[in-house]
Amino acid sequence: MYEIVTSRETYSLGADGKIGRPEIKMLPSGKWLMLGLYEYRGFGGSFIPLADVLNRLDTLPWKYKNGKERFHIRDLDHGTVRQWGESVTCIRRVTP
């Protein structure tokens, strides 16, 4: 189990990509999935799939040198691919 931490909220994340919102007691389901992280870079960016993100958690540079967060979540919500406007502070492992 993992947690997605943003400046406003902490979400739960399963290894299978299912996202939940503990703050409103919403359990993870197959209707809301994390696909990976998107990194903005000037006039473009790059996508890192979820499996790669989870394998590289300890080595991902979460912030740029100026202190600004580097990544945004790309998800699949009820069949629609979206990209969060809010940036991600970190994704961390949670032990039960």
SS3 52: helix
Q: 2, 94 in Cβ contact below 8 A?
A: yes
Sequential pLDDT tens for the chain (96 residues) = 999 999 899 999 999 999 999 999 999 988 999 999 999 887 889 999 999 999 999 999 999 999 999 999 999 999 999 999 899 999 999 987
Segments forming the whole domain that contains residue 62: 2-93
Locate 3 and state its tokens: 């947690």
- Indicate the burial class of 73 (C-beta count within 10 angstroms; 0-12, 13-18, 19 or more): buried
Total domain count, the chain: 1
